[in-house]
Chains A and B, each alone.
Chain A
Amino acid sequence: MKKIIISIFLLFVSMNVFAHGPSPQKVEKTIKINASPDKVWAIIKDFGSFQKWQVWAIIKDFGSFQKWQPLVTDSKLEKKGEDTLRTLTLKSGGKVVERLKGIDEEAMKLKYEILEGAVPVADYNSFIVVAKGPSPNESSVTWVGRFYRVYKLNPPIPAGQDDETALKAVNEMYDVALPALKKLAETK
């Protein structure tokens, strides 16, 4: 019975992946890195090797604050027609499919979106940009996400599908990933 309820819930979530509430949410974070912009950019634009520096931290509140394991264990890159997609496997077992929207070499800016998966957001669009620091061996990386909560119907909004949950999930992704990126870029 529990399985059936979960399946219905998942079906419901996946059907509504593009519908959303009325107000977009924003997360924008910047980290300073002691490595050259070229080096940092080389890591970021390698769209298929996200797991090297990304550590997804998804903590889902499901009734009694059940914690999920916070690692991306695998990233598979594939071409679908003109689209470049990567499927991330979370240590928790969930998957996230993301599409590369563009790489701007001159601006050192990568754009991508989440197509579907275990992150509690809808219509998630993001970019990561590398800027030059005050010296040749310093950079700063800014990561910006614009997205909506999952729940699109009338309030009351169920726990786990509201703005706070969406914001928390994205904040955690960035908070864990950016220091990991810094570490990788500075020690590589």
Chain B
Amino acid sequence: MNFKNLISLALCLLLCACSTSPIAYITNQGSDTVSIVNIKEKKIIQEIPVGKGPVGVAISLKQSYAFITNTHDASVNVLDLQHNRIIKTIQTGGTPVGITKSTNEDFIYVSDWFNSEVFIIETKSLTVIKKIVVGKSPSGMICDTEGKYLFISNRDENTVEIYGQSDLALVKKIKVGNHPYGLFVSKNLLFVVNVLDDSLSVVNIQSFASETIKVGDHPYGVVSDVKNQFAFVTNTQDDNISVVDLKMKKEIKKIKVGGNPEGIDIDERDNILITSNWRSDSISIIDLAKQEYLYEIKTGKQSRSFGQFIKID
């Protein structure tokens, strides 16, 4: 290959990389589907039927799968990201709600809301290899970037449990606010929203010290940027998100989104936040740097997308 060809190849690769749109996998409780949405083109690429009452989503780029929890038929769907189709349905039993991947992406953790258990799915065999007993009504789950911990919010006992990822042993149980739900972790901070307190708990995962910050009405989801400058919280009953300044430790702004926003995810490469809006059957796209509302894309019915739902190649 001569130099000129090499340059054009490099340019082409660069262009391709730049034009790759983030893809959102949106679970629709009301239509029992997942909407696969191209964010840049502002349209649904495909609407895939899944199980009954889908809510949670986790994406493993390493395995090239998305995992969907179906609360009403006790199953988890495995969605192939290459071909956008369901390749397997795992019958877990119970009521799967929250879902997240282990840091090394070898395992998927699924919370069973009613039985106070967490199922562990091995991504290689796509089977449930283990169950552990956790606190009451486990909902949100997330793993740290170091591969050390799995965090679980237990909605009906107002706690967060911290398990070791390697041995699944309980390391610590901490009290948070009233009805903790969505969780997020960035660097040394764990974020937990407390639905009935209208608050956000920020927990230091080294010292386990925590602080509480007031947000909007019935918060469900939370994310923060990689530098932990801002946290963003969906307020389901206010139809907006709270922008929380993590240095000032308070809400500094509200951004209007669609009706009853639940799930929220962040894509720093493309400088956006996305919320999934349960009442308005849509997702809202927000400019991350400017902290301004950009546009809305229609999805299936009663979109929830509980978990990390943006695929960034």
Report yes or no: B156 in contact with A19, Cβ–Cβ below 8 A: yes
B71 at the A interface (CB under 8 A): yes
B97:A22 contact, CB within 8 angstroms: yes
Q: Which of B53, B260, B279 contacts A22 (CB 8 A)?
A: B53
Task: Give chain A nearest CB distance to B199 CB in angstroms.
Answer: 15
Is A23 touching B72 in the complex (CB atoms < 8 A)?
yes
A24 contact from B115, B217, B278, Cβ within 8 A: B278
- Check if A146 is an interface residue, CB within 8 A of chain B: yes
Partner of A146, one of B53, B115, B179, B279: B279
Query: Which residues of the other chain, B, contact A22 by a CB distance below 8 angstroms?
Result: 53, 55, 71, 95, 97, 113
B179 touches which one: A18, A125, A154 (CB < 8 A)?
A18
Q: Name the A residues within 8 Å of B260 (CB-CB).
A: 146
User: Cβ of B194 < 8 Å from any Cβ of A?
Assistant: no
Point out the residues of chain A lying under 8 angstroms from B30, CB to CB.
26
Q: Which of B145-165 contact A (CB under 8 A)?
A: 156
Give the residues from 14 to 71 in chain A that come closer than 8 angstroms, CB to CB, to chain B: 18-19, 22-24, 26, 28
Cα(A152)–Cα(B179), bound, Å:
14
In-complex Cβ contact of A28 among B53, B71, B114, B279 (8 A): B279
Q: Please, which residue of chain A has its CB at the minimum distance from the CB of B195?
A: A123
Q: In the complex, A24 Cα to B179 Cα: how many Å?
A: 15
Q: Could you give, for residues 82-100 of chain B, a 1 whenever the CB lies within 8 Å of some chain A CB and a 0 otherwise?
A: 0000000000000101000
Q: Does B254 contact A (CB under 8 A)?
A: no
| Number of A-B contacts defined by CB within 8 Å | 41
List chain B residues, Cβ under 8 A from A26. Answer: 30, 278-279, 302
A142-182 near B? 1/0 per residue, CB < 8 Å: 00101000001111000000000000000000000000000
Cα(A28)–Cα(B259), bound, Å: 12
Q: Tell me if B226 is interfacial: C-beta within 8 Å of chain A.
A: no
Size of the B side of the interface (Cβ < 8 Å), in residues, is 24
- B213-225 interface mask toward A, CB cutoff 8 Å, 1 = contact, 0 = none? 0000110000000
The yes or no answer to A101 lying at the interface (CB within 8 A) is yes
B33 in the interface, Cβ–Cβ < 8 Å? no
Determine if A101 and B217 form an interchain contact, defined as CB atoms under 8 angstroms apart. yes
Chain B residues touching A, majority SS: loop
Provide the bound-state CA to CA distance between A111 and B3, in Å.
Answer: 66
Residue of A whose beta carbon sits closest to that of B218:
A125
1/0 contact trace for B171-187 toward A, CB 8 Å? 00000000100000000
Complex Cα distance, B274 from A96, in Å, reads 37
Which residues does chain B contribute within 8 Å of A24, judged by CB atoms?
A: 278
**A22 CA to B137 CA, complexed, in Å:** 9
Instruction: Decide yes or no: A23 and B279 within 8 Å by CB, A18-B179, A18-B196, A153-B114 being known contacts.
Output: no
By a CB distance below 8 angstroms, the chain B residues around A154 are 114-115
Q: Which of B50-72 contact A (CB under 8 A)?
A: 53, 55, 71-72
Contacts of A83-111 to chain B: CB distance below 8 A: 101, 111
B279 touches A144 (CB 8 A): yes
Interface string of B102-131 (1 = CB under 8 A from A): 000000000001110000000000000000
Contacting B at CB under 8 A, from A114-156, are 125, 144, 146, 152-155
In this assembly, does B35 line the interface, its C-beta being within 8 Å of a C-beta of chain A?
no
Chain A neighbourhood of B97, CB < 8 A: 22
Give the 10 A-B CB pairs with smallest separation, nearest first. A22-B71, A154-B114, A22-B113, A22-B97, A125-B237, A23-B53, A19-B156, A22-B95, A23-B71, A23-B29
- Interface residues, chain A, with chain B CB atoms under 8 Å away: 18-19, 22-24, 26, 28, 101, 111, 125, 144, 146, 152-155
- 11 residue pairs A–B, Cβ–Cβ below 8 Å: A18-B196, A19-B137, A22-B55, A23-B55, A23-B71, A26-B30, A26-B302, A146-B236, A146-B260, A153-B114, A154-B115
